[in-house]
Structure 1
Amino acid sequence: MNRPEREAAVRQIMERTAPHVPRELHADVVRRGGRILRRRTIARRLLWLLLFAATVAFTVWAVVAQPWVEPPSQTTPPLTGW
């Protein structure tokens, strides 16, 4: 199929009338779309809540554990010079 034949085929396809869509299909699509949007909104809110809870838990742990402070020595240093 050369270029003029392809262009003619594309013109024929584009000049056709759009197929008829059943009327009840629109209501189904709107309902499904609304459901998908609600699920995405709920999932997004849950993820933000999880991120917030993880941040709070990490902050509380860091304040209580203070990992930046060196732990006290468990042994005494050797006594020299007595």
Structure 2
Amino acid sequence: MNRHEHKEDEVRRMLEATHPHVPGDLAARATARGVRLLHRGRAMRHLWWTLLALAVCAFVVWASMVRPWEVPPAGTTPPLEGW
């Protein structure tokens, strides 16, 4: 028996076997689970966008108060030579 015939026999045996029992409410449960997953994903996206917006706002407030782009004032005065 070659490989092709062996596969055909295996497929034939699988098709002739009894099919497993499928619960009647399987579609309803799958739909409910899908809806829950969609809602959870949407809630997570909203949460991440909210956290990102809060982080941007906190950065803008911090940057406006600290002004890191400005040069800090000198700690000492330059020497007065040559007067």
TM-score by length of 2: 0.76
Deviation (angstroms), 1:25: 2.0
Trace 1:3-82 onto structure 2 (pairs within 5 A): 3-4=3-4, 5-10=6-11, 13=14, 15=15, 19-82=20-83
| Alignment root-mean-square deviation, CA | 2.4
The change in CA–CA distance for 1:63 and 1:44 in structure 2 (over 3 A counts) is same
Superposed structure 1 runs of 4+ greater than 3 Å apart = 10-13, 15-20
Deviation (angstroms), 1:18: 5.8
Query: What are structure 1's unaligned runs of at least 5 residues?
Result: none
How far apart in 1 are the matches of 2:8 and 2:53?
Answer: 56
Q: Across the two proteins, how many residue pairs are aligned to each other?
A: 81
Deviation (angstroms), 1:2: 4.9
TM-score by length of 1: 0.76
Identity %: 49
Deviation (angstroms), 1:20: 4.0
Deviation (angstroms), 1:21: 1.7
Query: What are structure 2's unaligned runs of at least 5 residues?
Result: none
| Cα distance per residue 1:61-80 (max 9 Å; x no partner) | 11221101101112111111
